[in-house]
């Protein structure tokens, strides 16, 4: 690739083969039953406190398809791809639709379909990339989310830093938007990407159903919190359902939790919302704050009910020292937010009749799509 013309910062996004493990009729709803995160996070208890009404969450991704479990709270949105039609309710890839279900799915027929973390919150879809990976809409998408006044901005993607990224995050600070971003998944050359590495952003890692750090989740001093991100059921294209694994999924869940906190405590600043989420997290891994899950694993109920001392200084998203948004650092490594990975063989898709969205499960290879956010480099990449 010619670095003078730009480099493709690849974000691996999960998709499904429609013929794999289709949902079949059953007495119980297979999609809702497959959502282990619902019981793990005690959502029934949390939803007795708030369901996120009055809060708007921007999903900066591949667009969001009007799935039947999303239509009640899905806004028209926006399109920040050059040459796009300006509408966010179009998703040829599927990744954005998957994230939206985890964030704010409201299900259907009372107890069927996907139940998101904040089912009464509004979704503002921002189409920042197309199915082929073309376009350079990530930073404009984040900035657009700030301009429309999104209370929470979900960025289940990452890339190298740039002046445009710094400008976009600066806009979210002025708008007092909570930005939640994927820490990324491990590869041979991976390090934490942007915007997750920025001090104003909450970087999210992933855990499995047993509460263990997912083997693909990036470890870094800037990771702030972990959430379920292995074999989590969600919405897919064509009113379908599937399971996904990645820090993208975990990020969407934390974004939903941030929306609940904003609904319950509307006077809190964005930094205080992040502080409440991290201060009430359950310690996980090495005692105290660590590079695996930061302050711990998301505890939604505690985030809505605990007495939390005010944030000292009122501005830090994490406790580690990080570069300022005013000092951009262009360059860095590619950041796959959802690379191909092997799901836990004990969590096979056949058990819930749901397709696996990303990775390899039960020996069945499932399709993956690379979403490339094209980034103009100001210097050649380092070796």
How far apart CA 355 and CA 55 sit, in angstroms, is 31
**Token duo for residue 10:** 């690849």
Q: Are strands 112-115 and 122-127 parallel, antiparallel or unpaired?
A: unpaired
291 catalytic residue (yes or no): no
70-103 residues labelled b (16+ CB within 10 A) or e (exposed): beebbeebbbbbeebeeebbbbbbbbbbbbbbbb
3-state helix, strand, coil in the chain (%, to 5): 25, 25, 55
248 catalytic residue (yes or no): yes
DSSP at 283: P
If one counts every other C-beta atom within 10 angstroms of the C-beta of residue 174, the result is 9
- State the catalytic residue, choosing from 95, 106, 108, 275: 95
**Token duo for residue 333:** 């490594």
Query: Can you give the length of the chain in residues?
Result: 383
Please report, for residues 97, 251, 293, 362, the alpha-carbon distance to residue 51 in angstroms, rounded to integers and kept in the order given: 20, 18, 25, 35
**Token duo for residue 58:** 């921007």
- State the catalytic residue, choosing from 122, 217, 245, 248: 248
C-alpha closest to that of 296 among 211, 382, 225 = 225
Instruction: Please report the beta strands in the chain, taking only residues with DSSP state E, as ranges in sequence order.
Output: 7-14, 56-61, 78-79, 106-108, 112-115, 122-127, 152-155, 178-182, 201-207, 223-228, 232-236, 240-244, 360-361, 364-365, 368-375
Torsion of CA 374, 147, 192, 40, to 10 degrees: -120
How far apart CA 47 and CA 272 sit, in angstroms, is 21
- State the catalytic residue, choosing from 29, 61, 220, 338: 61
How far apart CA 139 and CA 141 sit, in angstroms, is 5
How far apart CA 146 and CA 296 sit, in angstroms, is 28
Residues annotated as catalytic are: 61, 95, 248
């Amino acid at each position: 690739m010619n670095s003078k013309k730009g480099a493709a910062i690849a974000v691996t996004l999960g998709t499904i083969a429609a013929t794999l493990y289709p949902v079949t009729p059953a007495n119980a709803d297979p999609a809702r039953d497959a959502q282990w995160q619902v019981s793990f996070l005690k959502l029934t208890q949390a939803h007795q406190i708030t369901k996120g009404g009055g809060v708007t969450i921007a999903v900066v991704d591949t667009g969001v398809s009007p799935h039947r479990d999303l239509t009640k709270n899905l806004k028209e949105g926006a399109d920040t791809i050059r040459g796009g039609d300006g509408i966010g309710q179009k998703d040829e890839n599927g990744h954005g639709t998957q994230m939206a279900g985890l964030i704010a799915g409201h299900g259907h027929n009372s107890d069927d379909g996907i139940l998101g973390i904040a089912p009464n919150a509004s979704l503002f879809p921002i189409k920042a990339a197309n199915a082929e990976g073309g376009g350079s809409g990530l930073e404009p998408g984040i900035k657009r989310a700030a301009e429309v006044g999104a209370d929470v901005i979900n960025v289940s993607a990452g890339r190298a830093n740039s002046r445009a990224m710094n400008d976009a995050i600066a806009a979210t600070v002025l708008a007092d938007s909570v930005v939640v971003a994927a820490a990324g998944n491990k590869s041979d050359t991976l390090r934490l990407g942007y915007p997750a590495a920025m001090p104003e952003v909450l970087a999210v890692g992933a855990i499995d159903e047993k509460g263990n750090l997912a083997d693909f989740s990036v470890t870094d001093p800037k990771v702030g919190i972990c959430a379920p991100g292995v074999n989590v059921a969600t919405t897919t294209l064509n009113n379908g359902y599937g399971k996904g694994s990645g820090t993208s999924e975990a990020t969407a869940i934390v974004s939903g939790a941030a929306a609940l906190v904003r609904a319950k405590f509307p006077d809190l600043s964005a930094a205080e919302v992040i502080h409440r989420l991290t201060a009430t997290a359950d310690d996980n891994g090495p005692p105290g704050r660590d590079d695996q899950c930061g302050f711990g694993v998301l505890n939604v109920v505690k985030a809505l009910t605990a007495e939390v001392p005010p944030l000292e200084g009122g501005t830090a998203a994490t406790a580690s020292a990080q570069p300022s948004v005013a000092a951009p650092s262009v360059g860095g490594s590619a950041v796959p937010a959802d690379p191909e990975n092997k799901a836990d063989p004990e969590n096979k898709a056949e058990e819930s009749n749901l397709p696996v969205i990303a990775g390899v499960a039960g020996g069945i290879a499932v399709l993956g799509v690379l979403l490339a956010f094209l980034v103009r480099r100001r210097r050649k990449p380092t070796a």
